[in-house]
Structure 1
Amino acid sequence: MSALAWTEGGTRLFLDALSRIGDERFAAPTSLPGWTTAHLVAHVHFNAQALRRLVSWAVTGIENRMYASAEQRTAEIEEGASWAPAQLRDVVAGSASALAEDLTALSDRAWDAEVVTAQGRTIPASQIPWLRAREVMVHAVDLGAGLTFADLPADFTAELLADVVRKRAAAGEGPALAAWLTGRSVTPPALGPWL
């Protein structure tokens, strides 16, 4: 399956899981340290908006970063977390739909255009759907609405694992992770902050 298909499927999973959560859950903590459900939903909304900026950059050639700064990203999420559940439900569905339309309209030239992620990596715009697929699939599980990683497409999960191992290895966590994953250590390694 393609990253674009994973994005579409993951968006459906996320929005369906969100529809099963009552408004009272928006103030409840999630498994993500310091984040309530409202923070999580706000993050998914603002992530779509940030990726739309990258799509705009790919189309126009005019630099348009995901976020002006890490502080801007944090401030957006905090602001969004204060919104009423109905507003959060509306904006997260709307921004997901707008991003999907933007991606569908990309030309071959735009898919090849280089943009820069929030972490400072230069990537072709063709990787934007993967960035979004990760967000919506993983956060669909994080919503705590009954989905687990076993409910995600197997090919997506395999790609996610490869991506996470690359990131962990780049952060210096590769040897301990390799020892555990290959059965050479019975104790899982202590890993850095959640992704």
Structure 2
Amino acid sequence: MTNSTRTFADARRWALIGAELTFDAVAGLDDAGYAAPSTLPGWSRAHIAAHVAANAEALSNLVHWAATGEPTPMYASPEERAAGIERGRALPADRLTAWLRRSADALEARMDQLTDEQWRHEVVTAQGRTVPATELPWMRSREVCVHAVDLATGVSFANLPADFLAALCDDVAAKRAAAPGPAVILRAPAAGADWELPGDGEPVPVTGELHDIAAYLTGRDADLRAADGTPAPALGAWL
């Protein structure tokens, strides 16, 4: 079921909150700190920071598309996207941190300049989805909020706004409902929210805190348990 009523203003606010959490998460990191592992397999903190910075520049391309009508893809190609992250993660710590902040600030400034009409213009995401530009702040808020946690410097899903977490769970659950996977019923009683993932087998009921369910749905380690004490069913990749 849908447990949130996400608005455009919400997404703009969450993007700013997530960016600040990201800045806080990397504050003071030196080269060794950036080289340490993130929570994502095979990626260092520097990989995460470079990915988030490159994402801001890619979304700025879509803002340009919305503003001018000139088709401007997020990335030239998947290969160029990967190469950009590799270049970024090799930067010295101070330059990587500066890029992270500079790209985020530039994206916000460009979004501030869009008119109401331009926000309604359609653009195409890196996944090939055609969406109105009003979806861009939501795309950004997911990136900065979730990856602030992935940096593994102390930010957790419990630090993210509850209304963001509910919207995130709605978004991910809807995507997972359309893909193969186990049948799961997720309940967050304290938040008055629940989600159903249709899939294979008898539905497994899983109850937990909202932040733990968000972590689970996005493929992060939440140590959620089914009612019989067994681990919650393993889910496939989110994005």
Q: Give the TM-score normalised by structure 2.
A: 0.76
Shift of 1:181: 4.9
The answer to whether the 8 Å contact 2:12/2:137 transfers is yes
Q: Which runs of 5+ in 1 are unaligned?
A: none
Which of 52, 68, 84 lines up with 2:60 in the alignment? Answer: 52
Aligned residues: 195
Structure 2 counterparts to residues 85-164 of structure 1, below 5 A: 85-164=93-172
Amino acid corresponding to residue 147 of structure 2 in structure 1: H
- The answer to whether structure 1 residue 189 and structure 2 residue 233 are counterparts is yes
Secondary structure, in 3 states, of the residue corresponding to 1:76?
Answer: helix
Q: Give the Cα–Cα distance (whole angstroms) in 2 for the partners of residues 12 and 134 of structure 1.
A: 13
Shift of 1:29: 1.5
Shift of 1:103: 0.7
The answer to whether the 8 Å contact 2:53/2:104 transfers is yes
Q: Give the TM-score normalised by structure 1.
A: 0.93
Structure 2 counterparts to residues 36-51 of structure 1, below 5 A: 36-51=44-59
Percent pairwise identity: 48
The answer to whether the 8 Å contact 2:66/2:123 transfers is yes
Q: Give the Cα–Cα distance (whole angstroms) in 2 for the partners of residues 182 and 105 of structure 1.
A: 44
Amino acid corresponding to residue 9 of structure 1 in structure 2: I
Q: Give the Cα–Cα distance (whole angstroms) in 2 for the partners of residues 15 and 75 of structure 1.
A: 23
Q: Which has the higher strand share?
A: 2
Once the two structures are superposed, what CA deviation does each residue of 1:128-151 show, in whole Å capped at 9, x if it has no partner?
Answer: 000000000011111111111011
Amino acid corresponding to residue 23 of structure 1 in structure 2: D
Shift of 1:21: 3.4
Amino acid corresponding to residue 188 of structure 1 in structure 2: A
Partner of 2:12 in structure 1? 4
Q: Give the Cα–Cα distance (whole angstroms) in 2 for the partners of residues 3 and 112 of structure 1.
A: 15
Structure 2 counterparts to residues 74-85 of structure 1, below 5 A: 74-85=82-93
Q: Give the Cα–Cα distance (whole angstroms) in 2 for the partners of residues 112 and 90 of structure 1.
A: 31
Shift of 1:22: 4.0
Shift of 1:9: 1.1
Secondary structure, in 3 states, of the residue corresponding to 2:33?
Answer: helix
Partner of 1:19 in structure 2? 27
Once the two structures are superposed, what CA deviation does each residue of 1:112-163 show, in whole Å capped at 9, x if it has no partner?
Answer: 0000111111110001000000000011111111111011000000001111
Once the two structures are superposed, what CA deviation does each residue of 1:55-87 show, in whole Å capped at 9, x if it has no partner?
Answer: 000000010011122111111111111111111
